[in-house]
Structure 1
């Protein structure tokens, strides 16, 4: 190769290397520029990252392409996260609702999960419920021996579940844990309730409330002068005249009550008038004896404006004294007796609405601090914490939410007992709160206590015009009853179409006028119903629920109603006006108290006044429930309710004494009350009697008709309801038209108690009528005093004997003392004079069952209970409740029996029936002493309205020492008589030989005849079609006459036992439910 060629090649290589160096330099320069750019980007993004950590809002980041990105800062992200759940310690709404749904699956419905501890037996209403002075309490701190319910609760204070929300009920209006319920003042006779309008009116005085007119200037006076101060009309002319007073309203139905006397025998007319015209329509005409107090009470639909009290033939100087003249619309009554309702209200509410949080959600929290946090009770209007619109004092303690430190907020938020959750949609904390409501009643009418069996909104009475209970929820004004102009909403039961959430056991609030809570959630569950006494004087005629003494004649002192120096009362208004302003309340001395029974003070709350309405929310094993409830029934601890009796005695004349279809009846002159058609209301038959003073005999009404016919018998009625009853002989055919008849009419009062303040009356009816012409509290004992020693059998089982008061001179003078009775025979022994009228006061336990229709059985069938015992703790209360009779057997080892069920067939529908007999093993109770009755009962569990009840099928038991007539060859042809017992000697031969028989149809066929045949129904005679003459008698098996079967009936009926006695058979249910059905 030449030198030139080599140089050319070298130059080319140099050029190439030079280019590479140049390219490398360019690349290095570019790389430094890129490094510098990345450095600048990193520096800038580093600052952005610092700003992201420390600042709010957004920061800008860039990528290598110089694209910018806006990113939320950390503070912004935290803030947004907190909007979802500001505190992870608190549940979200989703979590809270999930727990609610879980509890709804866990429990049978809304109600009490734990009762809480109770108090001593004397104060106990039931497990976890007790009374003290003027309060009804739930729960108890600590634990002491003998406290009722101490082993029935795992917590000292109640726990409830309402729509799946669990509430700890503590420190309601009390700082130390107890739920302490206060009550409105007892009735004082100044309020009226109009059932037509649902309106309650507060009057300035009792005189205004009763619309007492005797001290008013008459709207018209004729032929005389009226002194309104003295209430006297003085006649100054022999021409017709009198006084005219307008009614409370111008026309319409009014109830009028006038008490008066005339100084001479006279005739009085009462006219529907517009003035003093004698031609106005006549309402009543009365013949009056001189100086005899006359009380006339009537209800009349007036076409004019008032009553003209007219004397058609007055005498100059004649004086009419008006003791009382009251007129009210027939739908209006003065409230002197009432039941107050206690219930729990639960609702959801935003904490921010009031900026207040309450411990446990309890807006009536009674302590001033909680977990070291100071609380205040002036943060919300007082009405928010009030028990009712009557309550101006209760102020619940809470704390202002916005002022709480984070640490103290967390105390509330992390504890689920405070029921706080976070709703992300509302972006708010929600607390589920509660208050105890105590609604002042409108009277005694109250039959709507549970939400399962009706559809109408909650109010005191299902079928009346009483107003609905107002739902309050989050609202701050306490209003008890709903109206279109007042109130926020009302509560609906399970079956109401307005309900949105279906949970057994609670009422759901419906906010018709105002929002009740967050998401409209507001609920109520019943707690108790409390019967109240009143602030008037006690009087067995005019004010049986009063508590004060009566003024003395000189008005300087006070005394019992029968005191020798006590003022005479003529009407109920007098019981409120003839009293001192003090007395009858807690703390007053005994000398200022007018009652002499177990209820002394009008402002006290006694266990016997309380009806426990709490429902057990737990799912219950129905078979275990049956056993537990039956043990309580036998022990007499199941609670019930009953009414006392008010008796009036009226003199009558016998108009008719006759028979119809083998049943005897009477009709009395002037008998039919045109207002209701009944001389005796059907429901009052068991407490009423007919006494023929001409014949000296007593009959019992067994069926009554609006026409005035009263069907009678020698023995008391045993059935409820107005039904014919085949109950044996009657002495009616001895009665003659024109005989003097005294109608002793016992009427049930409206007030109800578990422990009844019972009164029995001893005396001849004519003397009772003269002593108490307007009636008296008590039930008559149908035994006539004659001066000989008698054991007067009490109408109720005396749980505790109290006092007596008696007169022998028609009430002019009284004596009194402490009642002493034979506790075994349940009788008062006395040589009472023929002139005596005596009131026996004692404590009696109410029935806890009532007649009911046979229902589908939800449990298995247990054993049959049988007893005739005298002890309440050994079945006596159960016997009385089921049969109406009182056990008196006191033998050791003969208290009760549990009999095995041999056969208990059920219908395809699930209820017991008679197609195949329900049978049991033989009764082994020995012969009772004191001629005691007994009863047997088969318990099962049934469901009504979603609630569980104990059902009893059974029968009354009567012991009979049966005497058998021996039939042998010598008397084989004797006639046989209905009701007699026969033993046919084997020597007679034939189908009857060797048999113990009871005759059910009389006849004269020979006992030895071969025509006798045995059938499944008894023994018939072949030649006489379809006739049973004998049935087997229980000789050597049981003298209770029991056939070892349980009759399955609806309500009550009668049957003939094997001894030929008529006995009651029944289907009863417990009055109060035992729990919530959950299957």
Structure 2
């Protein structure tokens, strides 16, 4: 690189020659020798390179992810970020001689035209673990840059511009050779301003603990998102926010009272076998009831259910206590191959998803009135705002104990509920569901005086990423409603009813990835039995229970959903931005089962031994609207494809078809899927059309069965354009 020569003038000092000297010497007389100054970047040169970088890269982001230590990967699709169990409250970026396929062992980031090369094992330090003050919390982390004047009052500059990481150099006491070396080695961050002063762009680590509701937000810290959407700004500072973590606390673990706890209880016991009374959250933080020192990695004592336990001061790859969102977006512009790679990562089960954690609670209502609406049936009960505010019909069910009938809640209001025996409207809002009328298989058998249990689940504000332990409760709802352990609700889901059958299979509410742990009680939680669940199986059977009085808590590893509902969006690249139609009924994690669970909110149960369980075909026709570059929302111009070729199911499972297309919205590169659920009744009932909708709707297939049609996008953008 050629550096601009800055003239120091030829007149001797004190003879009026000062007027001919550069601004630099006026500010820093006798500070830098000419050869040292020649090694420094001028502001004009520096600004020109910044502008070139802004043109070269699509956004502020990652130039290189770096590599990571073998066996300590956080995200299979993005190398470089990893954890170390021996370093509490830390994340690491980059590893000398590491693995991951990155071109450089160290990571590099581009922030507003400035490139920073991070060191190997760049350490991100997180806030200390949560306590009883705010036990449920997420933390966020990133790097921030700002321009700093180097002066006699503030003489320190940093190698690489890495504040508190790179070696510190005092530019006012260093030798000429040291100064010369520093300027030549740090031309990417340091320059001589047009005002004659020395400036350095410096990068440093930032991390914030969640406050309101335990959820961190740059806005709460005084930042404002820039117009493009890649940086958070505050008082001349540029924050590149690229991840968050769901933390564990130092209280005792309890599935209902403190599901984020990590400690054990007094006597080296767990929640289910401790002799001490645990009836509230405060009990989980009462030092006299805890095993002293437990819950930390140094203690080696954990009360958590995950294999090997988990500790409150360790950052994990995923799940509870681990990375949730990994927002290390590539700085370069996304290409068609990037979209295709993301699609492959999704279908093979590698793409990292994000879930909202849910809580579930059982309510009991008495029917005070019944009515009909559009051919359906609703029941009235006493106003229950708590029920209404804590029930999302995607996770909610009813059981009419008086009629021994259970089903779903297409619509729920504070003093009424619309009941159905069909699981076909969990993706629609209340008014759309109620208007569906007879199409939702309404249950109209309730009468005044009936008692109905409502199993109500709802999203929390907290997110969890990648693989984590799901908690499902199963058993007769009345037993759970009266249980001292679960009557107040629990963090997790519902996996079905025990209806008096001597031996009953418990089917997981989520796709099981590996064996977990089952705890059962048949005496109202006085004592518990513990055993391993089944391993992963096509039918997703977690375990079997042989007593109708049993309550079962099943905790098993699942994977966060890869997609979320979205509106139909502009297609990037025209016809070249449209992929093929993917069919799957397969239960295998690497053959679309995870994508199917995300799209349908149902578990795939079939296997290739039944015949073809995965297929892919090209479109026969499609039409992109010339006015907005979107698919049309009608049946006349919807994409069409060759007929489905899947084999018949043997486990009663569903199938789906999904059309992938590339999109850009507000500079964000996204992968979208237009999908349709498929049920088998002599055939799959498919009409070879891909109906396009915003969010979700239902259609009738050729076998007159109601099928979900939906549009989803990946849980994270794949990058920038």
Tell me the residue number matched to 1:188.
Answer: 131
Equivalent position SS for 2:259: coil
CA deviation profile, 1:255-305 (whole Å, cap 9, x unmatched): xxxxxxxxxxxxxxxxxxxxxxxxxxxxxxxxxxxxxxxxxxxxxxxxxxx
Counterparts of residues 762-801 of structure 1 (less than 5 Å): 762-771=474-483, 772-801=486-515
What SS is found at the alignment partner of 1:524?
Answer: strand
Counterpart CA distance in 1 for 2:20 and 2:631 is: 73
Task: Report the counterpart of residue 463 of structure 2 in structure 1.
Answer: 752
Q: Does 1:738 align with 2:453?
A: no
Query: What corresponds to 1:603 in structure 2?
Result: 313
Structure 1: runs of 5+ lacking an equivalent:
1-52, 60-69, 171-176, 191-334, 367-396, 449-457, 460-466, 470-489, 496-502, 511-520, 552-556, 962-1038
Which residue among 662, 674, 691 is the counterpart of 1:953?
674
Q: Deviations over 1:916-971 (max 9, x none)?
A: 1211122222223322211111111222332111111120122222xxxxxxxxxx
Is residue 157 from structure 1 mapped to residue 106 from structure 2 by the alignment?
A: yes
Aligned to 1:761: 473
Matched, 1:494 2:226: yes
Q: Distance in 1 between matches of 2:199 and 2:21?
A: 25
TM-score (structure 2 length as normaliser): 0.89
- Distance change (3 Å), C-alpha of 1:838 and 1:74: closer
Q: Deviations over 1:150-170 (max 9, x none)?
A: 22x211111111110111011
Q: Structure 1 residue 727: deviation in Å? A: 6.9
Q: d(CA) in 2 for partners of 1:416 and 1:786?
A: 74
Give the Cα–Cα distance (whole angstroms) in 2 for the partners of residues 864 and 71 of structure 1. 77
Equivalent of 1:624 in 311, 319, 337 = 337
Residues 792 and 827 in structure 1, CA contact (< 8 A), matched pair in contact too: yes
Going from structure 1 to structure 2, the CA distance change for 1:73 and 1:852 (only over 3 Å counts) comes to closer
CA distance in 2, matches of 1:717, 1:566: 45
Please give the secondary structure, in 1, of the residue aligned with 2:616.
Answer: strand
Contact 1:653 1:738 (8 Å CA) reproduced: yes
Match of 1:580 among 271, 277, 291: 291
SS in 2 for 1:659: strand
Matches within 5 A, 1:817-828: 817-821=531-535, 823-828=537-542
3-state SS, counterpart of residue 874 of structure 1: coil
Query: Alignment partner for residue 91 of structure 2, among 129, 136, 147?
Result: 136
Q: Map of 1:166-245 to 2, 5 A cutoff?
A: 166-170=115-119, 177-190=120-133
Between the aligned partners of 1:780 and 1:773, the Cα distance in structure 2 is 13
- Following the alignment from structure 2 to structure 1, what is the Cα–Cα distance between the partners of residues 663 and 417? 38
CA contact (8 A) 1:56 1:76 kept: no
CA distance, structure 2, for counterparts of residue 753 and residue 802 of structure 1 = 18
Q: Is the 8 A contact 2:672 2:714 kept in 1?
A: yes
Contact 1:535 1:547 in 2 (8 A): yes
Aligned to 2:136: 337
Give the Cα separation in 1 of the matches to 2:394 and 2:23. Answer: 80
1:525 alignment partner, one of 224, 231, 240? 240
Partner of 1:318: none
> What pairs with 1:251-262 in structure 2 (closer than 5 Å)?
none
Residue 804 of structure 1 aligns to a residue whose secondary structure is strand
Instruction: Report how far residue 346 of structure 1 moved.
Output: 0.5
Higher relative contact order, structure no. (Cα contacts within 8 Å, ≥ 6 residues apart): 2
1:348 equivalent to 2:147? Answer yes
Shift of 1:802: 1.6
Offset of 1:748 from its aligned partner? 2.7
The corresponding residue for 2:655 is 934
Verify: 1:901 aligned to 2:619, yes or no: yes
CA 1:402–1:697: 2 relative to 1, 3 Å? same
User: Which residue number in structure 1 is paired with residue 4 of structure 2?
Assistant: none
CA distance 1:641–1:597, shift in 2 (3 Å): farther
Task: Note the 1:541-620 alignment, pairs <5 A.
Answer: 541-551=256-266, 557-563=267-273, 565-577=274-286, 578-590=289-301, 592-596=302-306, 600-608=310-318, 609-610=322-323, 611-620=325-334
Q: Which deviates further from its counterpart, 532-541 or 895-904?
A: 895-904
Does the 8 Å CA contact 2:305/2:517 hold for their aligned counterparts? no
SS in 2 for 1:879: helix
1:695 CA drift (Å): 2.0
Shift in Å at residue 185 of structure 1?
Answer: 1.6
Q: Displacement of 1:533 after TM fit?
A: 1.3
Q: 1:682 to 1:187 in 2, by over 3 A?
A: closer
Quick one: which of 1058, 1065, 1077 aligns to 2:702? 1058
1:415 corresponds to which of 182, 185, 189: 185
Q: What is the CA-CA distance between 1:853 and the residue it aligns to?
A: 1.1
Q: Give how far 1:137 is off.
A: 1.7
Q: Say yes or no: does 1:432 pair with 2:201.
A: yes
Q: Indicate conservation of the 8 Å contact 1:789/1:829, yes or no.
A: no
> How far 1:716 sits from its partner (Å)?
5.8
How big is the shift at 1:899? 1.2
Structure ID, larger Rg: 1
CA distance in 2, matches of 1:799, 1:709: 35
Distance 1:726 1:889, change over 3 A: farther
Question: SS of 2:53's equivalent?
Answer: helix
C-alpha displacement at 1:1062, in angstroms? 0.9
Deviation at 1:537, TM superposition (A): 0.9
Equivalence map 1:845-864=2 (5 Å): 845-859=559-573, 860-864=577-581
- The SS at the match of 1:881 is helix
Flag structure 2 segments of 5+ consecutive residues without an equivalent.
Answer: 1-8
Distance 1:180 1:780, change over 3 A: same
Residue in 2 that maps onto 1:718:
426
- Per the TM alignment, residue 842 of structure 1 is displaced from its structure 2 partner at its CA by 0.4
Report 1:44-55 matches (<5 A).
none
Q: Structure 1 105/919 Cα, relative in aligned 2: closer, same or farther at 3 Å?
A: same
- For residues 613 and 729 of structure 1, what CA distance do their matches in structure 2 show? 39
Alignment of 1:87-126 (within 5 A): 87-120=37-70, 123-125=73-75, 126=78
Change in CA separation of 1:1070 and 1:121 when aligned onto 2, cut-off 3 Å: farther
Secondary structure of the residue that 1:917 maps to in structure 2?
coil
Contact 1:124 1:607 in 2 (8 A): yes
Q: Using the alignment, how far apart are the partners of 1:1041 and 1:77 within structure 2?
A: 79
Return closer, same or farther for 1:58/1:121 CA change in 2, 3 Å cut-off. Answer: closer
User: Which has the larger displacement, 641-650 or 108-117?
Assistant: 641-650
1:291-310 superposed matches below 5 A:
none
Quote how far apart the aligned CAs of 1:650 are: 2.6
Corresponding residue pairs, total = 684
* Separation (CA, whole Å) in 1 of partners of 2:391 and 2:718: 27
Equivalent residues of 1:786, 1:832 under 8 A apart: no
SS in structure 1 opposite 2:201? strand
> What is the TM-score of this pair, normalised by structure 1?
0.60
Matching residue of 1:839: 553
Per-residue deviation, 1:808: 0.3
CA apart distance, 1:704: 1.5
Alpha-carbon offset, residue 1052 of structure 1 = 0.7
Q: Which residue of 1 aligns with 2:6?
A: none
Distance between the aligned counterparts of 1:861 and 1:351, measured in 2? Answer: 52
- 1:355-404: CA deviations, max 9, x gaps? 112111111216xxxxxxxxxxxxxxxxxxxxxxxxxxxxxx51322221
